Amino acid sequence: MGIGIFELVILLTVALTFIVMIVLAAVKLIKSKLTPKQKIAWIIAMLFFQFPGLIIFLIYHDIFLLRELRGNL
Average pLDDT, the chain: 89
Total domain count, the chain: 1
Task: Give the pLDDT score at 73.
Answer: 58
Alpha-carbon distance 47 to 55, whole Å? 12
Task: Give the pLDDT score at 72.
Answer: 66
Contact predicate 72/31, CB 8 Å:
yes
| Highest mean pLDDT: which range of 4-8, 50-54, 64-68, 69-73 | 4-8
User: What's the domain range around 33?
Assistant: 5-69
